[in-house]
Structure 1
């Protein structure tokens, strides 16, 4: 952590770009380490995937370390959106080189990259790195560009699924200031902490809250609207039955994981959002 001198009336920047980048990399590791996690790769198994495992994800996140730091630097300089986008494209190429062409973190490159830039901008604006300031910086500095980006027709599977089924795409979610992250995952994290949850159970509770809310286009790509409805129903059932506070919560989550694997469902958008809230937590933005 690096404290920087501030002008009178401004809050000193608490985190250097390198610290922000390191926190983003660790947040990706937090998401990977969580298990059971319906349909997704963890250190326990490969979930609904035949072409990747935890080692693939580790190679990918290590290849992205410098990217997150660079995005925080760009954000602190209030760089235009096209500079952020170029950095993301370069990072995606490094990811694919590290994984042999497998898409492990494309969504996280977009989402966590934007958050690293917004963290840098928040501090450059002289503001404390709270969740509210973080979201405001994203919308103030790049909101218009993100809105314009929504007009592009995505060639990616998630974007195509969003158009086909009338869902909110990752681009639209970002243009709205990441509402599922800031209006669902952040309150869910705080509520879980207030209930005494921590570690695996806290993250599991938040993950299911995200899955009950998010238009996860990765699920829709694999399972259509039926698959998305199944995922939401399972998430809501888990939460209504008491969530991660129950003794049997982990057993229940493993059964849901097995059902997702049987249907080949993979909630990658939920995983990205969990990584994002882990990043906010690691940088002290959740109180």
Structure 2
């Protein structure tokens, strides 16, 4: 055949790897359903993880007088259609401004459904942003793509502007402006570095040490709290609360993690610190949910 392009031998492994990520057996609707369920499971797993410092879990409402575990579950379930639509619209697409703005519109509709389900309580606004982008990234790259590739593609989407974003300052925007921190928007635009470089490694390293699944997930959360400039903590407790939260989380890690007796004592102290200041590491919790989402896809598909 004249003009046929034959790949060089050095290119074949790369091409095979790329082809293996293309999901040709599932239509967009089926893929969207699978990704949506993975996102909802990640949100519920994050909510039910116990004991979490300053956050709603099975044993406590943490620093949240207006939330409990049943509300968190109901909120997560209300987003099933949102994540499914995000995945379906991203399927076979590439990052673009059109896709960014379409995802944003779906996300705003999902936020309205969430607020209806919770009676006006903002439970998962940050998670809609993070998991929505990652769901779209997984729909584009394939469910079995490497977590870092999914996160990178999600970041490329986030870098496009949303011309139809509501005008006005959110709590997160005020915190970013006041304290000069990155926040959720920059975390996404950079390809979720805290999830890829901290959350997932902490989760996997704890499992490798023989920690239980609960302990491994708590260790991932603690690693995130120790590093993230959490705008939720800053909003509710200011700079001092953030410094103390990071110091307390680092103490858990230095003690060997939550699988050790000393680490568990340090976790209790961190919880007491956060609740006494009415501060909640909600941003870190969203990143933990993102970590669990990518981990779930990785384990379900055997991706590398």
Shared fold (TM-score, shorter chain, > 0.5): yes
Using the alignment, how far apart are the partners of 2:247 and 2:115 within structure 1?
Answer: 34
Q: Give the length in aligned residue pairs.
A: 275
**Mapping for residues 45-124 of structure 1, pairs under 5 Å:** 45-78=60-93, 80-123=99-142
Match of 2:19 in 1: 10
CA deviation profile, 1:26-53 (whole Å, cap 9, x unmatched) = 1001111111111101121111011111
Q: 1:138 aligns with which of 144, 154, 157?
A: 154
TM value normalised by structure 1: 0.89
Using the alignment, how far apart are the partners of 1:8 and 1:133 within structure 2?
Answer: 12
Match of 1:208 in 2: 222
Q: Secondary structure at the match of 1:80?
A: helix
Using the alignment, how far apart are the partners of 1:29 and 1:17 within structure 2?
Answer: 18
Decide whether the 8 Å contact of 1:28 with 1:61 is kept in 2.
Answer: yes
Q: Secondary structure at the match of 1:243?
A: coil
Distance 1:267 1:73, change over 3 A: same
**Mapping for residues 250-261 of structure 1, pairs under 5 Å:** 250-261=264-275
Q: 1:77: Cα distance to partner?
A: 3.9
Q: 1:129 aligns with which of 123, 142, 145?
A: 145
Provide structure 1 residue ranges, at least 5 long, that are not aligned to the other structure: 1-6
Provide structure 2 residue ranges, at least 5 long, that are not aligned to the other structure: 1-15
Root mean square deviation, CA, Å:
2.3
Q: 1:139: Cα distance to partner?
A: 3.5
Using the alignment, how far apart are the partners of 2:262 and 2:43 within structure 1?
Answer: 27
Match of 1:197 in 2: 211
Q: 1:32 aligns with which of 42, 47, 50?
A: 47
Using the alignment, how far apart are the partners of 1:9 and 1:118 within structure 2?
Answer: 15
Decide whether the 8 Å contact of 2:241 with 2:274 is kept in 1.
Answer: no
Distance 1:138 1:206, change over 3 A: same
Distance 1:174 1:153, change over 3 A: farther
Q: 1:154: Cα distance to partner?
A: 6.1
CA deviation profile, 1:118-158 (whole Å, cap 9, x unmatched) = 000112xxx84211221232234x15306x78x99862212
TM value normalised by structure 2: 0.84
Using the alignment, how far apart are the partners of 1:63 and 1:89 within structure 2?
Answer: 13
Bigger CA radius of gyration: 2
Match of 1:156 in 2: 170
Q: Secondary structure at the match of 1:283?
A: helix
Asked if 1:220 is matched to 2:229, the reply is no
CA deviation profile, 1:95-129 (whole Å, cap 9, x unmatched) = 00011100000000100011101000112xxx842
